[in-house]
Amino acid sequence: MNMEEFRSRARDIVNDATLTFHQRRHYLAWLAENALEYPELSKEAAEALNKQIICDLFEGSAPYRGRYILPDYGRALRNGSEHLELEPPQDLDEALNFLLIMYTQVPSITGYPVYLGDFDKILEPYVDDVDDEALYKKLKLFWIALDRILPDAFVHTNLGPRDSRISRTIFRIEREALQVVPNISLKVDPDLTPDDLILDAVQTVFATGKPHFVNHPLMVRDLGEDYAAVSCYNSLKIGGGSHTLNRLNLKEVALLHQGDIDSFIHDTLPHYVELNAELIEARIRYLVEEAKFFEHDFLAVEGLIRLDRFSAMYGIYGMAEAVDLLLEAAGKPGRYGHDDAANELSYQITKKIADLVAARPMPYCDGNNGRAFLHSQSGIDSDLEVTAGTRIPIGDEPEMFDHIKAVAPHHDLFQAGVSDIFHVEDTVRRNPSAMVDIIRGAFREGMRDFTFNLATNGFIRITGYLVRKCDVDQFDEMGARHGSTTFAAGSVKNSHVTERNVKRVLSRESSPRAPQ
Amino acid sequence: MKAAQGHLNDVIRFSAVDGPGNRFVVFLQGCNYNCVACHNPYTINECDSCGKCVEPCPEMALFYDGHNQVAVDDDLCTDCDICIQVCPSDSTPLSKMVRLESLVRQIDEVSPFISGITVSGGEPTLQADFVASLFSSIKCSEKLSRLTTLVDSNGSASRAVWDRLLPVMDGAMIDLKALDPDTHIAMTGADNGPVLDTIRYLAEWQRLYEVRLLMVPGRNDSPDTVERTARWLYDIDPSMRIKLIGFRQHGVRPQFADIPEADPQHLEKLSGIIRGVGIEELVLV
């Protein structure tokens, strides 16, 4: 980028009437970062990045903060913070005040924290002497503050797997407040989570499209007890996080491939898997060794994040198109999501990538034994004609049971998250326990993440994040208060999210969009 | 008596509208009533292989087999339902005999996702032996016995038929089209004596999951009629669960196209009347 182009793009951002002050500042910073040289890559990797066969999700060319950071808020509340000049809170008011202050200081790729803590656990020490109505009042004010101070749908909290008065109060507030922020995941364990709590959560989905549901025992198996789902569908370690998320476009790899399916699996795929790994490694090294993030950020200095709990996320997407292209080229019938042969091929591809990623050492990834976490990446607003992660294309989904059976086998290997979204008919409002049955069944079937939504509430799920339908409709004229609505407006235009058949809604993952 | 196979119209693997929780629903073919408000009239009669659907089928999926019976090629059929629309006999060429083991296998596959199964129709009690065999298979299976077994019925079966089902049936949803015998005959073609007896009998055995009242405008929805019906039900069991359903045109045969759909405001009023009688468990659909 020459100076003239830089100035012209900066001018466009400064004068963009659809952006708030904060959004303009965020994009200006992004532009400045991208005026710097990219971390050094081999010629092949640079070319693959340039052609978007591998993709850095526009994270920027000089990483100076991790993509997803999960501070250990419990520890912060117990010990206080020297940097923030805050003593350990003694009651609920002090704890909520402490957290609101701390959130403004947590770095992330969007500029807002992607993780707020597991409220039922971190607030539990402060609520014993608070009666139900006082708890409701205090949390409601806190909830409104979160939505207004952190206007970004990737801001995420977790609840569960055990029942708690805090979780119940939060669901009640959610149903009343109808806010985009925060996004929520409920951890579900077959033994620890009562039906009644899931039922409460299901009724909250009817109103707000939140929460998501995650398979707690499966997460604990892969990440340990101290994990959280953040941003949307990104499961990582608390006190750690992910340096970066780079993804491999399987559709593009399949288009480039010449030869049979066997040579795709054994030759072409490993080649591109390594190029994406090279990109991840280069970005991690810059963050840790050049920007020295972990040496100066107060979270690291005060032990609220630890480098040895970090890893990186290795994303893939476009599985549906890749499978269909490979079968077509081989002259074999079958369509992803509908035919056993196609589904089997997709599992084989996932397994191969998982094996390659598990065999590829990655620096500063002690959070996963020196390897990246595999992630089924749920898309960004600029994706065209390529399906998110391992999802079945929008509008082509089979009925729910077949849909779950087709996608569930992928979930086992994506430790850092996978997203399949189910759109259910409105009649289920009268029988929410039917959704409890399906969620329990999906987890028995081995699913890791489960998200559903109804067509008739006021929210639309773009990736895992939500926007209000009215905000999308009005965006072109007026701009939006929430940063994520900007991505969503692009997403809705590019992928007909709102026109899809009644069965489900697409979801797309966060990325800081570059102003075009 | 054990029945190894039943006459099946279709199954739905996930249903949120046929009893508590998510349910696997079995629709059996054949009904002894002919209700004006029937939403799936193609389940009423057995196919007589008249062949009037063979020609109109756009996929050429229907044909005469070697025994002069209309048969379907499942690979060609796209479920476009044109055969059902042209059928002169309120039937379908797509129903088929299903083996008990095959049905149990399908339920087994879905079992992690469901609270139970519901057998509907058609009128399932016309194939009570098959229904009893199906429920027995579920109740005797270690893996499936947690599933609840419900019947969705017009209530015309005799006590002898219910006696066969009661040991393996967790509950029944019974339609009460009308308390007044003449109205009942006008709406269904049949006397309601057996239905009233079924409701009493199943309530006595605590196997009455709910009574459904379908409100068809101008036929059975006057406030006075509904109040008498609610009082009759309350006297049998004050904790009775009632589902009040407004008539909709969806799926109804063309000759009944002039029946208006139920007015939501009127249904609200009727709900108030039913609650006024003392019924607490009322669901309005």
B209 token code pair: 């999951």
B260 token code pair: 């208006």
Q: In angstroms, rounded to a whole number, what is the distance separating the alpha carbons of residues B125 and B116? A: 18
Kindly report the CATH number assigned to the domain that includes residue A389: 3.20.70.20
Q: CB–CB of B17 and A430 under 8 A?
A: yes
Residue to mutate among B24, B79, B113, with most A CBs inside 10 A, is B113
Helix (H) / strand (E) containing A134: helix A132-149
Interface list for chain A against chain B, based on CB atoms closer than 8 Å? 399-401, 404, 424-425, 427-428, 430-431, 433-438, 440-442, 444-445
Residue to mutate among B11, B12, B17, B22, with most A CBs inside 10 A, is B22
Four-CA torsion A144, A148, A151, A153, nearest 10 degrees: 10
String of DSSP letters for A43-65: HHHHHHHHTTSEE-TT--SS--S
Q: What pLDDT score does A499 carry?
A: 37
Q: Is pLDDT at A506 greater than 50 in this prediction?
A: no
Range of the domain at B141: 5-40+96-284
> What is the rounded average pLDDT of the residues A185-192?
98
**Per-residue pLDDT reduced to its tens digit, B16-26:** 999 999 999 99
Q: Find chain A residues with C-beta within 8 A of B113's C-beta.
A: 401, 404, 437-438, 440-442, 444-445
Same domain, A30 and A82: no
Q: Please, which pLDDT band fits residue A507 given cuts at 50, 70 and 90?
A: very low
Same domain, A224 and A337: yes
Q: In angstroms, rounded to a whole number, what is the distance separating the alpha carbons of residues B258 and B219? A: 13
Mean pLDDT across chain A: 90
Of B57, B77, B94, the position where a domain reaches its end is: B94
Same domain, A185 and A333: yes
**Per-residue pLDDT reduced to its tens digit, B239-285:** 999 999 999 998 899 889 999 999 999 999 999 999 999 999 999 98
For A409, B75, B158, the CA distances from A327, given in Å and listed in that order, are: 20, 21, 57
Q: What pLDDT score does A478 carry?
A: 52
Q: Is pLDDT at B61 greater than 80 in this prediction?
A: yes
For A164, A347, A411, the CA distances from A215, given in Å and listed in that order, are: 18, 20, 10
**Per-residue pLDDT reduced to its tens digit, A340-392:** 999 999 999 999 999 999 999 999 999 999 999 999 998 887 888 999 999 99
Same domain, A24 and A125: no
Q: Is pLDDT at A495 greater than 60 in this prediction?
A: no
Chain A: nearest CA to B109, how far in angstroms? 10
Q: Please, which pLDDT band fits residue A130 given cuts at 50, 70 and 90?
A: very high
For B112, nearest residue in chain A (alpha carbons) = A441
> What is the rounded average pLDDT of the residues A403-411?
97
Find the CB nearest B16 among A404, A431, A440. Answer: A431
Q: Is pLDDT at A515 greater than 60 in this prediction?
A: no
Kindly report the CATH number assigned to the domain that includes residue B54: 3.30.70.20
Same domain, A160 and A254: yes
How many Å is the maximal CA-CA distance in chain B?
61
Amino acid at B266: H
Q: In angstroms, rounded to a whole number, what is the distance separating the alpha carbons of residues A116 and A103? A: 7
Same domain, B159 and B103: yes
Q: What pLDDT score does A474 carry?
A: 56
Q: Find chain B residues with C-beta within 8 A of A434's C-beta.
A: 14-16, 21-23, 115
Q: What pLDDT score does A108 carry?
A: 84
Same domain, B133 and B273: yes
Same domain, B18 and B51: no
For A159, B123, B126, B191, B220, the CA distances from B183, given in Å and listed in that order, are: 55, 20, 23, 9, 7
Range of the domain at A1: 1-35
Find the CB nearest B17 among A401, A427, A445. Answer: A427
Spatial contact of B95 and B4, defined as CB atoms under 8 Å apart: no
Say whether residue B16 is in contact with chain A using an 8 A CB cutoff: yes
**Cis ω on the peptide bond leading into residue A63 (within 30° of 0)?**
no
Say whether residue B285 is in contact with chain A using an 8 A CB cutoff: yes
pLDDT above 90: percentage of residues in chain B: 88
Q: Please, which pLDDT band fits residue A483 given cuts at 50, 70 and 90?
A: low
Phi-psi region of A385 (alpha: psi -120 to 50; beta: other; left: phi over 0): left
Q: In angstroms, rounded to a whole number, what is the distance separating the alpha carbons of residues A102 and A116? A: 10
Half-sphere exposure of B103 (CA within 13 A, CB side): 31
Q: In angstroms, rounded to a whole number, what is the distance separating the alpha carbons of residues B158 and B194? A: 7
Same domain, A224 and A348: yes
DSSP state of A373: E
Q: Is pLDDT at A511 greater than 80 in this prediction?
A: no
pLDDT above 90: percentage of residues in chain A: 79
Same domain, A406 and A324: yes
Q: Is pLDDT at A326 greater than 70 in this prediction?
A: yes
Say whether residue B115 is in contact with chain A using an 8 A CB cutoff: yes
Q: What pLDDT score does A232 carry?
A: 80
A389 token code pair: 């992660």
Q: Smallest Cα–Cα separation from A465: which of A367, A388, A386, A350?
A: A388
Do the interacting molecules here have an ipTM over 0.90?
no
Q: Please, which pLDDT band fits residue A111 given cuts at 50, 70 and 90?
A: confident
Same domain, B172 and B83: no
Residue to mutate among A215, A437, A454, A502, with most B CBs inside 10 A, is A437
Q: CB–CB of A433 and B14 under 8 A?
A: no
Say whether residue B22 is in contact with chain A using an 8 A CB cutoff: yes
Q: What pLDDT score does A469 carry?
A: 66
Total count of domains within chain B: 2
Total count of domains within chain A: 2
Same domain, B70 and B105: no
Q: CB–CB of A431 and B20 under 8 A?
A: yes
Same domain, A61 and A24: no
Q: CB–CB of A399 and B13 under 8 A?
A: yes
**Per-residue pLDDT reduced to its tens digit, B143-182:** 999 999 999 999 999 999 999 999 999 999 999 999 999 9
Same domain, B56 and B177: no
Of B59, B75, B94, the position where a domain reaches its end is: B94
> What is the rounded average pLDDT of the residues B96-111?
96
Q: Please, which pLDDT band fits residue A168 given cuts at 50, 70 and 90?
A: very high
Same domain, B33 and B111: yes
Same domain, B118 and B205: yes
Same domain, B217 and B119: yes
Per mean pLDDT, which range of A22-26, A144-148, A354-358, A398-402 is the poorest?
A22-26
Same domain, A6 and A74: no
Same domain, B53 and B152: no
Same domain, A119 and A240: yes
Same domain, B240 and B251: yes
Q: Please, which pLDDT band fits residue A257 given cuts at 50, 70 and 90?
A: very high
**Beta-strand relationship, A240-249 and A68-70:** antiparallel
Q: In angstroms, rounded to a whole number, what is the distance separating the alpha carbons of residues A510 and A388? A: 12
For B18, nearest residue in chain A (alpha carbons) = A431
Q: CB–CB of A435 and B22 under 8 A?
A: yes
Same domain, A129 and A20: no
Q: Please, which pLDDT band fits residue B64 given cuts at 50, 70 and 90?
A: very high
Burial (CB count within 10 angstroms: exposed 0-12, middle 13-18, buried 19+), residue A75:
middle
Q: Please, which pLDDT band fits residue A505 given cuts at 50, 70 and 90?
A: very low
* Dihedral sign for Cα atoms in the order A475, A480, A482, A484: positive
Same domain, B194 and B221: yes
Helix (H) / strand (E) containing A27: helix A21-33
Q: Is pLDDT at A331 greater than 90 in this prediction?
A: yes
